[in-house]
Structure 1
């Protein structure tokens, strides 16, 4: 009987505490019951309403709690379907109210009034309106005079009081099971000796030569919350959100075995860049993203001691495409390898199917440029830097797509992105913007090919503009003047390059709908395979890339 005393005592405690906690809440809840507003359908809106109706009026409302609009005019709505609306805006230190009647069947400032069937005007914030913007709508006479920014505190209090008994019970149950495990359950035998090294013997790892392995030591360890034994070596890249280091990943199956190293790349984000790290981690974590022309991802880590977030990937010693082209003149065969692999990588991102015909979520990169493309040892490309990437899930609403904002590097932005007029109703619009950027990268590759004749020093697209052009200067050149990088006549003397140039011109068309898809570009490169075999004049590069290059990303 002795072992049963503790469970009986604990369950008695549960019953007593539950009765005490639940007892005083009942009358309080009864006093707090508020009737729900009666739902009013469109067919019941037979009498026009009275609404507060003023143009823009200055206000002292802080956007918190309850406010009363500074409008003394009451108007009869002209249409029986119209409801009362109040809009609160704050731009800098200027606060204004708009009060009006509006038919919810029509958009207001591009917004749909989807929550108007209320007796009270409860504000909801809308993003992407150029200022702090709240709007509410309701169906009672003059209901847009008093507006609510916060929910009724009394209702919140009732909910909290209602949850207290459940929380108390949960705590008591946890205490009971803790006591049971400590005092009644025998301890489980342990097979791990304190201080013994972790066994890595069954965890395969990417090597420098085979960077596309399907499983990694990184993933195995990270699932056990173990930080990888990584030693940072040298800074090899620096961008807007992070720095990239060449690093050594230590390996060894036991303490007696000689420690070996594998070379990896570590992208380090500071704590304030958490959003960018998380977005790139979430994109990389999709197993369907794996592709030979997408940078191979190992794992992601939160380094709390250093207050940093890490992404660990395969290391590509040749660096990014921009640096490679800056230091090397390439052959037609090299051009074909770089261009075709780039197109295949973008096509894989944009595709809604894997190569095995399994459904996947399409991804728009949204920052394709030569410094975000790495060159592998076989002179094929792999896409990297997915900090601005967008998963084009069909469930995304127009508002969620609009909140993604105008992102990317100005030099590589498509005309519609520069003008902030991308078609949010069609997710293909984001892919079309990627294709425009890819066309500029293909132009860069051709500009350093020996098959065009005289090869000039490397310069980026629109090289006549300053080093980091702003959106406005790019808008003048690309949108107003419809300018594009020059394609000299000498480039078309080579049959293969002539085809690639024609493809580029179709990809950077001003009309997004007229552009080719990335898959179509990849197929055109496949059709050039016979020319690659026929015209290949592959030779060693005229200049050699340095062993270590620090890359500063273009903002």
Structure 2
């Protein structure tokens, strides 16, 4: 066999004729079976010369057709064959290639220029290939998946709406219960012709939440969010509780409605409602909107005069005096008898530029009814850690009496007083705002950290010498130190502080 190949190669080189007597074929120099651009005898015996175009590499290839192959095009190759003369495939262009392919071809040297016509039809390889088949399959799968997702979404929405319809009246009592209550609509709900009547509503009617539009978020906390909203063009504040805060929402609703919590220094309650959404229910507590915002934001951005500091303190003390002292009316309704348990500057709202304030956020408060026989035990470790009283931190508070929690409120009020006094001006200067124990604790302390500083080391916020230069601030700083006393029995009541503030000369000159 090797001898035959040598003889064939010799004849091919010398005479340009194969052993079969047929013409040789032109081949590319980079092909392994190609010698001097001619196919060897074994390949020339096929009697066919071929040129093909590879649509992937975009190149022409000239060679001899194998004896066992036929001349035809495939998905990735466009071929043409010839056998009419020697090297007939040298200048041959594959039939059926498109105009776009034709103009990119480069023929061997000595070939005439290509005559590409724009009416050449697209090649079968461009019309269809496995890539298009894969694309069609992927598109089909995507369509099926999207269809399934849409069906699941529709089912979830229908289920959520059905659940919302069944649960929407959970917080509110029945209409018959509503008829037994007679509340001033300015404080506890809409008028009799309105939607929500304080403690309940007719579920067949349009609710107040349907008439409220959100405008901007005011604050966000562990309970949820507070939004500035509008109802018929009038601003209102809406406290939106997260799913796990339903107990806190119900607690606030109970305090605002069952005890007729009306006082100039308590936030004005409007209604409680539920907002049905596609994927659940939002609990809404609707209140009056106070445009000056929370006290902490107000004193961070503004220093205050001693007169304004006095009015702020007097407002808060008046609210605590009202809350801590229950009053039984002649017709059997009790006012007050509430311990706040989360008193701090973010839970106090500024009503006007003069400094009148209101206390808000009663989600952790306890009532006198919580200490009656048979009532569930009161949780102790609740509220904001920095404002917790020493007896709360060490667990020695008397959990059987409301007064013990009212006294803990007075400790927190002492820290609020300190924040306010730092921003009060003396001789035209005021200190920067700080949160309690800012210099003694890290930004996010644990209960153990605060217990160590407040209880074990008995650390208290630093007093400022400049307060002694002002009669009002001097009196307030002394009251503040009494509120910090480690022993609950040594702290003043809200009633005593209220009376003391009434005697300060600033308010005696300016009036209440």
Q: Where on the TM-score scale, by shorter chain, does this alignment land: which range?
A: 0.5 to 0.7
Query: Which residue of structure 2 aligns with residue 407 of structure 1?
Result: 382
Residue aligned with 1:456, SS: coil
Does residue 1:302 correspond to 2:278, yes or no? no
C-alpha distance 535-276 of structure 1, shift in aligned 2 (>3 A): closer
- What is the 5 A alignment of 1:499-510? 499-510=475-486
Deviation at 1:218, TM superposition (A): 5.8
How many residues were matched structurally? 317
Deviation at 1:351, TM superposition (A): 1.0
Query: Which residue of structure 2 aligns with residue 333 of structure 1?
Result: 307
1:40-68 CA-to-partner distances (Å, cap 9, x unmatched) read xxxxxxxxxxxxxxxxxxxxxxxxxxxxx
Give 1 or 2 for the bigger CA radius of gyration.
Answer: 2
Deviation at 1:400, TM superposition (A): 2.8
Pick 1 or 2: higher relative contact order, CA cutoff 8 A, min separation 6: 1
2:405, 2:244 → 1: CA distance?
A: 27
Query: Which residue of structure 2 aligns with residue 270 of structure 1?
Result: 242
Residue aligned with 1:289, SS: coil
Of 194, 197, 220, 1:238 maps to: 220
1:499, 1:491 → 2: CA distance?
A: 9
Of 298, 323, 330, 2:297 maps to: 323
For normalisation by structure 2, the TM-score amounts to: 0.58
Structure 1: any 5+ residue segments left out of the alignment? 1-202, 207-211, 251-260, 537-555
C-alpha distance 354-446 of structure 1, shift in aligned 2 (>3 A): farther
Query: Which residue of structure 1 aligns with residue 461 of structure 2?
Result: 485
CA RMSD of aligned residues (A): 2.6
1:376-432 CA-to-partner distances (Å, cap 9, x unmatched) read 02421111111111112275249734x423111010000011112111233210000
For normalisation by structure 1, the TM-score amounts to: 0.54
Of 457, 467, 482, 2:432 maps to: 457
Residue aligned with 1:304, SS: strand
2:293, 2:274 → 1: CA distance?
A: 25
Query: Which residue of structure 1 aligns with residue 444 of structure 2?
Result: 468
Moved more, 311-320 or 392-401: 392-401
Does residue 1:353 correspond to 2:327, yes or no? yes
Deviation at 1:360, TM superposition (A): 3.1
- What is the 5 A alignment of 1:198-217? 217=194
2:195, 2:427 → 1: CA distance?
A: 45
Query: Which residue of structure 2 aligns with residue 227 of structure 1?
Result: 207
2:373, 2:380 → 1: CA distance?
A: 14
- The answer to whether the Cα contact below 8 Å between 1:451 and 1:494 also exists between their aligned partners in 2 is yes
- The answer to whether the Cα contact below 8 Å between 1:453 and 1:490 also exists between their aligned partners in 2 is no
- The answer to whether the Cα contact below 8 Å between 2:259 and 2:335 also exists between their aligned partners in 1 is no
Deviation at 1:470, TM superposition (A): 2.0
Deviation at 1:242, TM superposition (A): 1.4
Query: Which residue of structure 2 aligns with residue 385 of structure 1?
Result: 361
- What is the 5 A alignment of 1:157-172? none
1:284, 1:394 → 2: CA distance?
A: 16
- The answer to whether the Cα contact below 8 Å between 2:320 and 2:494 also exists between their aligned partners in 1 is yes
Query: Which residue of structure 2 aligns with residue 522 of structure 1?
Result: 498
Query: Which residue of structure 1 aligns with residue 140 of structure 2?
Result: none
C-alpha distance 246-394 of structure 1, shift in aligned 2 (>3 A): closer
Structure 2: any 5+ residue segments left out of the alignment? 1-182
2:298, 2:330 → 1: CA distance?
A: 33
Does residue 1:279 correspond to 2:255, yes or no? no
Deviation at 1:304, TM superposition (A): 3.1
